[in-house]
Structure 1
Amino acid sequence: MYILLADGTEELEFVACYDILVRAGFTVHSIGVSLATEHATCTRHIRIIPDIPTLSALPPVTELARSPSVAALIIPGGGPGAATMASSLDVSALINAFRAAGKLVGAICAGTTALVAAQEREEAKAGKVRVTSHPSVRQGIVDKGWEYADERVVVDGNVVTSRGPGSAIAFALKVVEVLAGKDKAEEVRGPLMCADTL
């Protein structure tokens, strides 16, 4: 499982997803996108060093996407980080390869714009799906012809999207549910002491 990381990534979304996916038993690797230094400086100035420094350190995208050991690609938000990902041809190629291979692609907050850019850039066969995002980027997604839902977490086929930092745990748990089943998601959720379990 891979999760992207750039300067300006929303750290709460990144860390919540990484943490919960590891709790669920997945091997997770973060990948740096267009970093000028060894670390990403996130939206609130927390510095995170990616497990893999750059996309160029990976195998070819089609090979990577078809690997049975790779379950999903996660795209966190944060306005500047998401803009970097949306403008990256390498990120678009990665997203489109995962979608073409039928792998799960998850995007949260402004990260949904990278999903939209990838589909538009390469006219991906996977096509447009029902999504959500942070409200600040909603109109741009709607203007590109995507079906939009004002919901905390949206699942459409192998695409899972969500709204922002406040829905990051729900988003990550939904990714776990889609990949490993409801029982596994509930097993991970219990010790987190989410609001409705108190």
Structure 2
Amino acid sequence: MKRVGILLADLFDEREFLYPYYRVQEAGYTPVVIGPEAREYRAKSGFSWRAEVSAREAPELAGLLIPGGFAPDYLRRSPEVLALVRRVAEEGRPLGAICHAGWVLISAGLVRGRRVTGFSSIRDDLENAGGLYQETGVVVDGNLVTAQGPKDLPGFVLAFLELLAKG
């Protein structure tokens, strides 16, 4: 299984989508862009990308990445997206969330007792959900990789790819 899902919704951070998208390809995996619906989504900058499949139709995945921006606030409203995120977590597959993507982890019920990080404005949300917030760029806790923002993309994606390589 060589497919890695990347979630999209409107107002995603294009840096946090594109950098992992191409790094996943360079590592020999096939990125599968997944949205609440299979349609085109617009980034914060106006850039757009099409989700190939809906969360309900997502294939079996080796891992899943969640970019930030404002998109996580839309993603967390989709029961199908939350079910997919939970499925990946329950299967022990690598799950990556950067910047505001911690909101999706919170809504999926995956933060309690886990070491996590995220953008500073969601620190209270992560802590109130029972997360053990770490004031550092990238945090790995089991199969979960979280990062604070775009400046942390190299370490975030590297940690995610290392988890994928462990299988």
- Whether these two folds match at TM > 0.5 is yes
State the 1:33 CA deviation. 2.3
Higher radius of gyration, 1 or 2: 1
Q: In 1, are the aligned partners of 2:112 and 2:130 still within 8 Å (CA)?
A: no
Q: In the alignment, is residue 92 of structure 1 matched against residue 95 of structure 2?
A: no
- Which structure shows the bigger proportion of residues in strand conformation? 2
In 2, Cα distance between equivalents of 1:151 and 1:170: 11
In 1, Cα distance between equivalents of 2:64 and 2:132: 21
| 1:165 counterpart residue number | 150
2:63 to 72, 82, 86: 72
State the 1:133 CA deviation. 0.4
One-letter code aligned to 1:158: N
State the 1:82 CA deviation. 0.7
Mapping for residues 105-184 of structure 1, pairs under 5 Å: 105-119=95-109, 128-180=113-165
In 2, Cα distance between equivalents of 1:114 and 1:128: 16
| 1:194 counterpart residue number | none
* Structure 1 portions without partners, runs of 5+: 65-69, 182-198
| 2:32 counterpart residue number | 29
Q: Secondary structure at the match of 1:28?
A: strand
One-letter code aligned to 1:45: G
Q: In 1, are the aligned partners of 2:112 and 2:129 still within 8 Å (CA)?
A: no
In 1, Cα distance between equivalents of 2:90 and 2:115: 17
TM-score w.r.t. the length of structure 2 is 0.90
| 2:58 counterpart residue number | 58
In 1, Cα distance between equivalents of 2:83 and 2:159: 25
- Which structure shows the bigger proportion of residues in helix conformation? 1
For residues 107-132 of structure 1, what are the alpha-carbon distances to aligned partners after superposition, in whole Å with 9 as ceiling and x for unaligned? 0000011011101xxxx6x9541100
Q: In 2, are the aligned partners of 1:71 and 1:104 still within 8 Å (CA)?
A: yes
| 1:186 counterpart residue number | none
Q: In 2, are the aligned partners of 1:39 and 1:49 still within 8 Å (CA)?
A: yes
Q: Secondary structure at the match of 1:87?
A: coil
Identical positions, percent: 33
State the 1:179 CA deviation. 1.7
The count of aligned residue pairs is 163
Alignment CA distance shift 1:127-1:96 (3 Å): farther
State the 1:169 CA deviation. 2.3
State the 1:27 CA deviation. 1.3
* Structure 2 portions without partners, runs of 5+: none
Mapping for residues 11-22 of structure 1, pairs under 5 Å: 11-22=14-25
In 2, Cα distance between equivalents of 1:58 and 1:77: 20
Mapping for residues 177-196 of structure 1, pairs under 5 Å: 177-180=162-165
